Structures are given as structure tokens and as C-alpha cells.
Amino acid sequence: MITISINSEECMPTYCFKDNNTNETFEKRLSMSEREQFLKNNPHLTQVPVLSNLSFDDMRGKKIDDGFKDVLKNIQQKAIGGQYMQSRYL
């Protein structure tokens, strides 16, 4: 039996905050409930939106797995009007 332990610190999201007094921005790793309490306790701070590094452009040119193609075909067959559906992945 293999046991995998994950540090809960690693699973928490990282938020970006801005100090409205100094215009300094910084990151802090908090749970969602901790973030809410942190903002209540620090009214001079605001959360700054951060863009994700994830992009679907990274998938361009990648070969679709045959198992995934089978799933798409199954969906297509069972969908209303499925015989008229076209997919660039099939």
C-alpha cells in the first residue's frame, strides 16, 4: 500500500494583494476563508486579479488520444441530431 501525503500549504491558492497606502503588491497563500478574514482585518489592502498562465493555445498541434476520440464519437452518436454534428477532433 502506498500512502501519499500532501502538504495542505501546497494545495491552497495564492492571492495577490495591493497595499493601498504604499501601492506595494505582494502574494500570500491562503485558503478562501482565510482570504476573507485577511481582507476584513486589513481594510487598506485590496485583492488584485491575476491572469492565469494556462492557455488553450498550448494544445495546438497536439495529437488527440484515441480514447478521447472514442468518447467524442459516443457523445456525437447520442446527441440529438448527432449525425449532422461535425468535430475537428474526429
Q: Which amino acid is at 82?
A: G
Confidence at residue 28, expressed as pLDDT on a 0 to 100 scale: 92
C-alpha dihedral sign at 31, 12, 20, 48: negative
CB-based contact 24:13 (threshold 8 Å) = no
Question: Could you read off the pLDDT of 3-55 as tens digits, one per residue?
Answer: 344 455 557 788 999 999 999 999 999 998 999 999 999 999 999 987 766 55
- Distance of alpha carbon 11 from alpha carbon 29, whole angstroms: 9
Q: b vs e for 50-59, b when ≥16 Cβ sit within 10 Å of the residue's Cβ? A: eeeeeeeeee
| pTM attached to this predicted model | 0.49
pLDDT at 83 over 50: yes
Question: Could you read off the pLDDT of 29-42 as tens digits, one per residue?
Answer: 999 899 999 999 99
Q: Which DSSP string corresponds to 4-69?
A: ----HHHHSPEEEEEETTT--EEEEE--HHHHHHHHHH-TTEEEE----S--GGGGTTPPPPHHHH
